[in-house]
Structure 1
Amino acid sequence: MTSPQRRLRRRTFLAAGAALALPPSGGSAAFRHPAAGAGPVTGRRGPADLFGKEIRLVPTGDPVVALTFNAAWNDDGIDAVLDELRNRDVPATFFLTGRFAEANPAAAEALAAEHGVASHSYSHPRLADLDRAGLREEVERADEAIRGATGTDPLPFYRFPYGETSPSAIAQVNALGYADIEFTDDTLGYLGEGGGVSVEDAADRAARAIRPGMILQMHLGSTETSGPNVDSRALPAVVDAVESRGYTVIDLASLARRPGGSRSRRHGGAQTRIRR
């Protein structure tokens, strides 16, 4: 992709992000903590039409999908992912933990320079281990860390660690100015070859999940047990599968704003999943 094309994509992404940062009807003041007399929490306005939901799929008849990556460990796979996205002219959204942004500021800045970045908490805790004050701290510290590392505002999206949500936690995150954006399916690439998931396994899982409005979750980084990052190596086959079926990868912010709203999952308590 040429430099003018990259600049055009960046302007397009920023326009989509700016649209998401404001309520659809103009809204009022910045979202405030529900406690009486509390001042602005993040100093931002959130996408109010996306609130009150655990968003996992955007209902649309159009053959479009969004690619997302979580980053909570190291920067393994980031260069390969950015190169592939750039060469294929494909957008993605990256959900960063605050600790990742602090430990890998150059990587976080590189991701934000070409794609959307959003919050995946500060320290990647289990939801059951947090009270209201703890969740608020996770959201606010992550926001500060991501802004500090990238020099830009993250998207008003929050993805809970481990896919664990609850109505009360979603409501609190919404009050802080963030929509809860989860995922339709996960490649399970974070397990790595050390955990029994090969590059081919991850790509096949993604291909089977393709449907209109899908939000695919993948991961960057690696651990001592996972081995080298799998999803970065599976990405070319994932994009091939999407395009061979006549689908188009679009930016998550644009997908979330498509007519028809978003499909949510409502439930009565925290949900525990193996996905990270």
Structure 2
Amino acid sequence: MAPAKSLQLAFLLVATLAGATGAAAQTACEKPVYLTVDTGHMGVAPLFADVLKRQNVRVTFFAAAERTQTDGNSLDDHWAAWWKARAAEGNEFASHTYDHVYWRGDEKSVEPRFQVRPSMGALAGRQFTWTAAQYCENITKASDRLASVTGKKPLPLFRAPGGKTSPKLLAAAKACGYAHVGWSPAGFLGDELPSETYSNEKLLAQALDRIRPGDILLAHLGIWSRKDPWAPADLEPLIVGLKEKGFCFQTLRQHPDYKAWIAAHS
């Protein structure tokens, strides 16, 4: 082989190796954050999805059958194609309890029993006492529906509405295969707060200032009570701003606190 040809091949090899090393460095996530998204009225869902695709960000969705602006619920057939598209993009899914069931208290009983109040569905607004099995059934109902509409098995995780739990409730959920996921203090993005006193500008500045590596962030697919919607107004600026500060986005499948649990229960 001619010396010039050998030199050219050697240069190409070095360039290829350097490119591979650079790509690996770019994909390494040294400052991860975990954006989680709960269901809501779904009015911002299409725009939310557009931002995630444009920014190449994967999130973990926690879904309940919540009332929507399309006169149905967020897990009905109207939204099935939307959920399936999010699965195809590599997002993850988990239960938010099917009827968006709030824990209200523990019963004083030998077997775990809980005072609960669904905020959605036929029994919305009424308070009941449920056994651990009944609570687990409602977690599983949302998970099963997600599996049906996405074609992807949800993570063995759940988020209690409002983040309201007790040690007994968490133990009961774990016994039926679900670990609970809350959110970090700085990860509360404020989209449930009144826009009259918490403007999008204020919430964005606060998040960019306070979020730290490892934080679990919380947003929603539409909040009925907020007059000036947080998403998509703050969503893309937040993602861009965090990327500029060296943060990268991962799903809860990659979270160090949940990786082992997911591997053992998937």
Query: Under a length normalisation based on structure 1, what TM-score does the superposition of the two structures give?
Result: 0.64
| 1:129-144 to 2 correspondences below 5 Å | 129-130=115-116, 131=130, 132-144=132-144
How far the C-alpha of 1:180 sits from its partner, in A, is 1.1
Question: Which residue of structure 1 aligns with residue 82 of structure 2?
Answer: 107
- Whether the aligned pair in 1 keeps the contact of 2:222 and 2:231 (CA below 8 Å) is no
Going from structure 1 to structure 2, the CA distance change for 1:138 and 1:221 (only over 3 Å counts) comes to: same
Question: Which residue of structure 1 aligns with residue 193 of structure 2?
Answer: 191
Aligned residue identity for 2:189: T
Going from structure 1 to structure 2, the CA distance change for 1:214 and 1:143 (only over 3 Å counts) comes to: same
Question: Which residue of structure 2 aligns with residue 217 of structure 1?
Answer: 218
| 1:27-42 to 2 correspondences below 5 Å | none
Question: Which residue of structure 2 aligns with residue 238 of structure 1?
Answer: 238
Q: Tell me which of 43, 58, 62 is aligned to 1:91.
A: 58
**C-alpha separation between the residues in 1 aligned to 2:246 and 2:53?**
20
CA deviation vs aligned residue, 1:38-90 (integer Å, no higher than 9, x gap): xxxxxxxxxxxxxxxxxxxxxxx94211111111x322212222211111112
Going from structure 1 to structure 2, the CA distance change for 1:258 and 1:219 (only over 3 Å counts) comes to: closer
**C-alpha separation between the residues in 1 aligned to 2:216 and 2:255?**
9
Identity percentage over the alignment? 27
**C-alpha separation between the residues in 2 aligned to 1:161 and 1:258?**
19
How far the C-alpha of 1:259 sits from its partner, in A, is 8.9
How far the C-alpha of 1:189 sits from its partner, in A, is 0.7
Going from structure 1 to structure 2, the CA distance change for 1:229 and 1:109 (only over 3 Å counts) comes to: farther
| 1:1-276 to 2 correspondences below 5 Å | 62-71=30-39, 73-99=40-66, 100-102=74-76, 104-114=79-89, 115-128=91-104, 129-130=115-116, 131=130, 132-184=132-184, 185-191=187-193, 193=195, 196-223=197-224, 225-227=225-227, 229-256=229-256
How far the C-alpha of 1:170 sits from its partner, in A, is 0.9
Question: Over aligned residues, Cα RMSD in angstroms?
Answer: 2.5
**C-alpha separation between the residues in 1 aligned to 2:83 and 2:47?**
14
Going from structure 1 to structure 2, the CA distance change for 1:246 and 1:79 (only over 3 Å counts) comes to: same
5+ residue gaps in structure 2?
1-28, 67-73, 105-114, 117-129, 262-266
**C-alpha separation between the residues in 2 aligned to 1:135 and 1:233?**
36
- Whether the aligned pair in 2 keeps the contact of 1:222 and 1:228 (CA below 8 Å) is no
Going from structure 1 to structure 2, the CA distance change for 1:111 and 1:202 (only over 3 Å counts) comes to: farther
Aligned residue identity for 2:206: R
5+ residue gaps in structure 1?
1-60, 262-276
Question: Which residue of structure 2 aligns with residue 270 of structure 1?
Answer: none
- Whether the aligned pair in 2 keeps the contact of 1:92 and 1:116 (CA below 8 Å) is yes
Going from structure 1 to structure 2, the CA distance change for 1:260 and 1:253 (only over 3 Å counts) comes to: closer
Query: Under a length normalisation based on structure 2, what TM-score does the superposition of the two structures give?
Result: 0.66
Question: Which residue of structure 2 aligns with residue 266 of structure 1?
Answer: none
CA deviation vs aligned residue, 1:95-144 (integer Å, no higher than 9, x gap): 11145212632332232232111111111122013332431232122122
How far the C-alpha of 1:256 sits from its partner, in A, is 3.3
